Structure 1
């Protein structure tokens, strides 16, 4: 079943619906995005040429749900108006409202509507839920962006320019799949809309895609209108969210929107791994239980479960790509009853000689350590065969006396100077194992001139940059300034006998992200004397409590290993 549904301004949005085999009225799960959602069930979809997950759709149908795909205005086969494809437009929410309410009124719908899926089809759910459509019962977004600047457009104020370009090309490839279906179905309206949407998108792709351009800032009317994180507190339905810590596309931050929601209605699964971890069979079982509870209204006990699950040391199943993700399995699951996740800040001081310890620098300790800029660090996709950047700095704890598990974001508080007015800093957190391997864990970035923070939104573990024009402050006279770099959120156990390490160098490719860094050569000095103690602050979730052995190298999703290039300090490290 396919056709066009009306938005409130008369614009027609392409939809397609899959119904269970039996007759009746059904609860509905909506996939709403700018890819090929409106062509669900068509010829391209049947050939698995789709961004949707046909296996998940089949599970939903067997469970008694109708599955409906809807394309956003100006995308795929839907009509566009004005700018056409308009990134982070408020109408993504109002059109989502109209789609939900139209679907609820159809003769095959029982009026109970939920939303599911990830990425583009994840952030669309958040947009829609902020508008509070009356028939929306629950949403299950995975891998979203709600703050398009801080999440992945300019993390730490460093413009991230590669992903927007590749994403626009990917979007168009999905419209090619929609065109195949439209041609096979002789849908001339769709083909006409597709052609117009491609033209409109190409004309202005450098404008709405320019959240990666730090000159397009979140401070003005445009920015406030597009910053979904400012409105997520309006969501009043149950939310089940999934986050992959090493997400190569959207990143793991998501504007921390979950922390603004009602904790009694909010659930979170976090796991190490890539963007498409939503295809995990383990996750989809959890998702169906959530939908049954809140869309069907079944008393299945889902609401009695802990609201937070951290899937630790997750590895993939057999096979490659999607098949490996289907078999995603954690070695251990840590649960907490409610968000936010309760952690204790653990501060580790950067020390002379490359140490990292719970004790701060003493009198007479060397003032600082320097490295040459810009020497980009290793590409995260090639971490397993990489070597450190020339001149990069590393600070490492002695081997841990007990296992320490961290969760959430972190803050690298650097007293720093530069011989140039500006520079970009990349921090990479790793685990140095006693077997001579080094495991990639997480990264963060900071443009030094963008270091000014919003004190009302910053916490001990999460610096929140203003990113306003007035707040830009270049380095002057090579005097040390304090810059707080956000380590993007993660969960990881550093096992007894391992060391915690932080690398400092210039930003490098990380997943699908590539950065437009400051190019002026300079010397960056990181201070670690008694008057300027630089600190790495991480959220300690628990000490000990690890029942599984150290996973084999290169089995963890998103956390590759390489041979450790420098020895860890001797002695016993932080006990937390």
Structure 2
């Protein structure tokens, strides 16, 4: 495994600028340099990682380095501006601001204590490379100066616009309630048209759930087939230690699912069997397994599909009714619902503490404030309904204010009276 200090960070030269052209070419060069090392199997390398190490794979792979074997991005964004930075046109002064502030602080000269230690030990190259670190670009100022989308600013950092340039096998994972990068990863599901093989595993859950065994088994299988180019297998010791590792990460002991290729002896046969499987896997009710501690990231069932969006998908529409219900037909006659807009009445995130290190997760979900929010509820469903994919709430607004920040929360009201969060969505009215 090779880790790299990106341009303008650590002991690398240059100045940090969020995925600027020089940084992308650095990624190309890193792939080609590593691939030429004598210890690299087959002379090609794969890229792995969750969150930013996953996002960076999309940018580097789009440069098409010839020695790249495959990528496996986990818990990523689909578009910098709409996914995380400006969801619905509202500047994300929560996670996005905290993240970029931390990155810029560490991209300053001697931003990491270990850099000081390396230089003190006599590394003159690392010392010289600190000289340009102070010229890092202020990404926060750039974001605030561009509140509306433009191709000049947005397209270069929008993987959904150029994912078709990626021409290696792709394994994508994500969680619908990701508190850091959001749920938009799924909109990449039909964008990798240049990839010879594409697989996506999606679950409900939070950012770090990409490391859960139900996802890791698929990740390991993919890497064995398209990077190592061998029949999927795992060292017995690693299999044994996995529950102990999961205990440290999630506070719950979980083993990897069975290896469905354990009986294969031939690599080509294993790969052919894998490529005959449906490319899309959706895991449901992760955290609801009654045999595990509450919120342990393991699903109760899954479905597979031939494509994304799922080919059998049909739109299910509800209409807001004057009496606070959701109906299957538009209301008869004119009607309106009123509330006093108050930005403090909405949710600014999904986690009370911003942390997912303890189970069960402490969700921050404030109750509706009378007069400052509106709610509609459907009749009980007559049968189980599986909902997968993107949705929208279409509203007609009139306001005495010049602008307003709107939030919609989609929830499930269970037969036992408990209400469960499904998704949040935000929109600044001037960005409609």
Q: Is the pair's TM-score, using the shorter chain for normalization, greater than 0.5?
A: yes
* Residues 413/70 of structure 1: CA separation in 2 closer, same or farther (3 Å cut): same
Partner of 1:359: 329
* Residues 70/386 of structure 1: CA separation in 2 closer, same or farther (3 Å cut): same
**How far is 1:438 from its partner?**
0.9
Paired residue for 1:100, among 31, 34, 55?
A: 31
1:123 aligns with 2:55: yes
SS in 2 for 1:371: coil
Partner of 2:191: 260
Structure 2 CA distance for aligned equivalents of residues 194 and 438 of structure 1: 52
Q: How does 1:268-283 map to 2 (within 5 A)?
A: 268-283=200-215
* Residues 438/316 of structure 1: CA separation in 2 closer, same or farther (3 Å cut): closer
Structure 1 CA distance for aligned equivalents of residues 393 and 66 of structure 2: 43
1:151 aligns with 2:83: yes
Structure 1 CA distance for aligned equivalents of residues 147 and 364 of structure 2: 36
Partner of 2:220: 288
Q: Greater strand share, 1 or 2?
A: 1
* Residues 178/405 of structure 1: CA separation in 2 closer, same or farther (3 Å cut): farther
Structure 2 CA distance for aligned equivalents of residues 394 and 69 of structure 1: 49
**How far is 1:401 from its partner?**
0.7
1:71 aligns with 2:5: yes
- Contact 1:159/1:214 (CA < 8 Å) preserved in 2? no
- Contact 1:179/1:194 (CA < 8 Å) preserved in 2? no
Partner of 2:118: 182
1:311 aligns with 2:283: yes
Structure 2 CA distance for aligned equivalents of residues 97 and 162 of structure 1: 32
Partner of 2:135: 200
| Backbone CA RMSD of aligned residues | 2.9
Paired residue for 2:162, among 221, 231, 237?
A: 231
Paired residue for 2:149, among 196, 218, 221?
A: 218
Partner of 2:395: 414
Structure 1 CA distance for aligned equivalents of residues 172 and 40 of structure 2: 25
Partner of 1:531: none
- Contact 2:179/2:351 (CA < 8 Å) preserved in 1? no
Structure 1 CA distance for aligned equivalents of residues 403 and 83 of structure 2: 22
Deviation string 1:209-238 (CA, Å, 9 cap, x unpaired) is x2xx37354325333333333221111111
Structure 1 CA distance for aligned equivalents of residues 20 and 289 of structure 2: 38
Q: How does 1:54-93 map to 2 (within 5 A)?
A: 67-80=1-14, 84-93=15-24
**How far is 1:173 from its partner?**
5.9
- Contact 1:378/1:388 (CA < 8 Å) preserved in 2? no
**How far is 1:119 from its partner?**
1.1
Structure 1 CA distance for aligned equivalents of residues 157 and 408 of structure 2: 28
1:394 aligns with 2:375: yes
Deviation string 1:367-419 (CA, Å, 9 cap, x unpaired) is 11111102422453245673213421001101111111111110111122111
Structure 1 CA distance for aligned equivalents of residues 171 and 94 of structure 2: 30
Structure 1 CA distance for aligned equivalents of residues 121 and 209 of structure 2: 32
* Residues 265/184 of structure 1: CA separation in 2 closer, same or farther (3 Å cut): farther
- Contact 1:75/1:85 (CA < 8 Å) preserved in 2? yes
Q: How does 1:312-331 map to 2 (within 5 A)?
A: 312-315=284-287, 328-331=297-300
* Residues 149/214 of structure 1: CA separation in 2 closer, same or farther (3 Å cut): farther
**How far is 1:78 from its partner?**
1.1
* Residues 384/340 of structure 1: CA separation in 2 closer, same or farther (3 Å cut): closer
Structure 1 CA distance for aligned equivalents of residues 416 and 62 of structure 2: 49
How many residue pairs get aligned? The number is 371
Structure 1 CA distance for aligned equivalents of residues 415 and 187 of structure 2: 34
5+ residue gaps, structure 1? 1-66, 452-576
1:302 aligns with 2:277: no
1:369 aligns with 2:337: yes
Partner of 1:425: 406
Structure 1 CA distance for aligned equivalents of residues 415 and 120 of structure 2: 59
Instruction: Please give the TM-score of this superposition, normalised by the length of structure 2.
Output: 0.78
Name which of structure 1's ranges 248-257 and 272-281 shifts more when overlaid on structure 2.
248-257
5+ residue gaps, structure 2? 231-266, 353-362
* Residues 405/146 of structure 1: CA separation in 2 closer, same or farther (3 Å cut): closer
- Contact 2:89/2:148 (CA < 8 Å) preserved in 1? no
